[in-house]
Amino acid sequence: MSHPEFSGKTRKQGPSWGMLRVNNSKDKSQEGFLCMQYDTDTQLAQESSEVSQKLAFDLSRLLAPLLAALDAQLDVRLVRTFLATIAVMIQFRNRSQGLLLSELGAYLLSPQHAPAGTKRISNLLRSSKWSSVLIERFLWQRADARLEELEEQQSQALCIWDGSVLEKAESEKVEGLCAVRSSKAKRLRKLKPGLFNQLSGPPIVVRGMEWTAVMLAGFKHAPTVVAMKWWSRKGQYATTQRQVEQALLVRLAGAWGERVLHVFDRGYASRNWLAALQEAEVRFLIRWQKGHVVWDAAGQERKIWQLIRGKRPQERREVYDARLRTTRLMGINVLSFRHPGYAAPLWLVVARPGGGKEPWYLVTNTPITSLDEGWRMIFAYARRWQIELAFRYSKSELGIESPRLWKWDNRMKLLLMVTLAYVFLLSLLHPLLELLRHWLLRHWCHRTGKRCREATAPLYRLRWAISRLWQDYNPRDFLVLPKSSG
């Protein structure tokens, strides 16, 4: 539940200045006019109700293909519960209990009928008539449509890969848990100036699940979720990272081929992954490790950082840093080389930010014939940060580490349902919805700071605003199922 001070409720209705003015005057004919003119609470309440209905309708329309597929396999009551639960996931903001079924059930119906609401969600997740494959298929279909839009706009499509972990440090009996390196502990152990007795040593290992994600993005606007895979190294559902990533790569290569540029971080910089990319025949961009041994143009073995040792940047440009909100001078070097694990030539694009910062060593199989193409590779890799933001948003805002479900299949359904909530929030960042976002942020999540007001993708504030709006104006009465549903 939200704190009362931040519940987002409108001010208590009372006599407006217009009404008081009319009551003290002799002209009673203008009473209604002045009341509507100055009673901003009444106008805000009407607008809020309309916006709540619109958001509920947009959510139903976004999920319409998936709801139709579910309606063919499930009772219509479970389909209604599915749609309403996703709305509740957006409304209920709590990192530690965000996906707790009893809390979701209290929002689904009411706190007095929380057991009944919890039972409805439990019946939905335990139903054997549907599986998480339906949601995965829906995400792929949306990604296909987004790719066609990028091609119509003649924009380079980027397929961004990365991995993370879902930590369940206190769990013991849950199916499919394995040992994972705690990213949370790594962040807390990071050395900071001014502190003492800071711990160091080997990584801290906790129980959890591995997490592999793929997102589709252009050079502008919000990305689109292609796939979210949670997997384990132990137990009945044990697999390996290579198997999960190989399956995703084969499917992407067969569906999209060379239509997209696959972007990877340094964790994918290996000889085996290069061989897999060569077999799949896809275009790729990988940030390489500077100590990796390659062959230069003369066929001699060198570490990759030695290829540009002693060379000046071929060009320098002022590049805008979105995080620091300023521009900085960056240099670039482009050259070709060969790798013992890859049969064709490769190109190295080195981004040199200066100021003592480590350069980016970007390796691609796309021929670089000009420095402009090299700069595009640098900007393409910079867009990889979008998937890092997706991991952080899912953990810190959507409470994706909070489920307490024992069964593997039920947990996969719930995790993909909260992924659909994230997909809906991303859809609200569309440029055509700028006025809607401005209204929501102005009336339901106002901030005075310049940095907040000038944010191009205020995803956190947008979810807070919708949560407060839907607490006062319940959207579940306006959630519409496809016409085929009963």
> Position 311: which residue type?
K
Q: First and final CA of the chain: distance in angstroms?
A: 33
> Exposed (0-12), middle (13-18) or buried (19+): which is 55, by Cβ within 10 Å?
buried
Query: Which 8-state DSSP code applies to residue 475?
Result: -
Looking at 13-17, 62-66, 223-227, 313-317, which range is the least confident one? 13-17
Average pLDDT over residues 103-120: 93
Residue 453 pLDDT level (bands cut at 50, 70, 90): confident
Q: Residue 313 burial by CB count (10 A; 0-12/13-18/19+): exposed, middle or buried?
A: middle
Which two three-digit tokens encode residue 19? 């009404």
State the residue for tokens 């570490």: 303
Bridge partners (DSSP) listed for residue 261: 158, 283
Residue 436 near residue 129 (C-beta atoms within 8 A): no
H or E segment at 158?
Answer: strand 157-167
Q: What is the pLDDT of residues 251-292, one digit of tens each?
A: 999 999 999 999 999 999 999 999 999 999 999 999 999 898
Token readout for 348 is 């190295």
The torsion of the CA quartet 110, 113, 117, 118, rounded to 10 degrees, works out to 120
Share of the chain above pLDDT 90, in %: 68
Name which residue leads in pLDDT, 338 or 21: 338
- Look at residue 476 and tell me whether its pLDDT is greater than 50: yes
Could you report the per-residue pLDDT of 190-248, keeping only the tens digit for each? 888 887 777 778 888 999 999 999 999 999 889 999 999 999 999 899 999 999 999 99
Pick 268 or 25 by higher pLDDT: 268
What is the distance, to the nearest Å, from the Cα of residue 70 to the centroid of all Cα atoms in its chain?
Answer: 24
pLDDT at 30 over 90: no
Please, are residues 135 and 416 in contact by the beta-carbon 8 Å criterion? yes
The secondary structure of the chain in percent helix, strand, coil, rounded to multiples of 5, reads 50, 20, 35
At 210 the pLDDT is 96
State residue 3's pLDDT score. 35
Lowest mean pLDDT among 9-23, 69-83, 275-289: 9-23
pLDDT of residue 1: 37
Task: Please list, residue by residue across 353-368, b when 16 or more beta carbons sit within 10 angstroms of its beta carbon and e when fewer do.
Answer: eeeeeebbbbbbbbeb
CB 171 within 8 A of CB 273: no
**What burial class does residue 335 get, using C-beta atoms within 10 Å of its C-beta: 0-12 exposed, 13-18 middle, 19+ buried?**
middle
What one-character DSSP code corresponds to residue 173?
S
pLDDT digits (tens, 9 = 90+) for 333-369: 999 999 988 989 999 999 998 777 899 999 999 999 9
Structure tokens, 239 = 């697999």
For 392-411, the pLDDT digits (tens) are 999 999 999 999 899 999 99
Q: What integer pLDDT is reported at residue 226 of this predicted model?
A: 97
Q: What is the pLDDT of residue 5?
A: 31
Phi and psi at residue 157, to the nearest 5°: -90, 130
Q: How far apart are CA 179 and CA 202, in angstroms?
A: 14
**Rg (the chain; Cα; Å):** 26
pLDDT given at position 484: 56
Report the chain's mean pLDDT, rounded to a whole number.
87
Q: pTM for this one?
A: 0.88
Distance in angstroms (rounded) separating the CA atoms of residues 10 and 5: 11
DSSP label at residue 9:
P
- CB atoms near residue 67 (< 10 Å): 25
pLDDT for residue 31 is more than 70: no
The domain segmentation of the chain, as residue ranges, is 4-130+428-478, 133-190+203-265+384-408, 275-364
CA–CA separation, 396 and 215 (whole Å): 19
Determine the 3-state secondary structure of 347 from DSSP. Answer: strand
Q: What is the rounded distance in angstroms from the CA atom of residue 128 to the CA atom of residue 150?
A: 37
Closest among 44, 40, 48, 3 to 19, alpha carbons compared: 40
Tokens of 169: 């440090």
Distance from C-alpha of 367 to C-alpha of 228, rounded to nearest angstrom: 31
What is the pLDDT, as a whole number, of residue 399? 93
Report yes or no: 83 and 457 within 8 Å, Cβ to Cβ: no
Q: Decide if 222 contacts 173 (C-beta within 8 A).
A: no
**3-class DSSP state for residue 330?**
strand
